[in-house]
Amino acid sequence: MDDMFWLGNGMIAGSAGPNRVVWNIQELATYNIGKVLSVNGGELIRKEELEAISIEYKCVSLSKDAPPVHPKLSTKLK
């Protein structure tokens, strides 16, 4: 998975979802990925395949309005 990146060295990784980049499920296991958290609504996630190789799966959909669009609710980095 060439597009995988570490968010915390050896602790937590990130990657585009399979709706953008095709996943190789076996490769996840090779890299000792034990859990997948989906924030894309579970689009194209094959939960059964993940569970078959003991990878836990959870889907927490983010709001379509994230980040907030109202000026009082958003902050910009300068």
pLDDT tens sequence across 5-51:
777 777 788 888 888 888 888 888 888 888 898 887 888 899 999 99
Task: Show the domain range for 21.
Answer: 5-59
Whether the model clears a pTM of 0.85, i.e. scores above it, the answer is: no
> Cα separation of 4 and 42, whole Å?
18
In a domain, 25, yes or no: yes
CA dist 33 → 7, 24, 62, 72, 77 (Å): 13, 12, 22, 39, 32
In a domain, 42, yes or no: yes
In a domain, 53, yes or no: yes
> Cα separation of 31 and 6, whole Å?
12
In a domain, 64, yes or no: no
In a domain, 37, yes or no: yes
In a domain, 44, yes or no: yes
Split into its structural domains, the chain has a count of 1
In a domain, 23, yes or no: yes
Torsion of CA 42, 27, 29, 6, to 10 degrees: -70
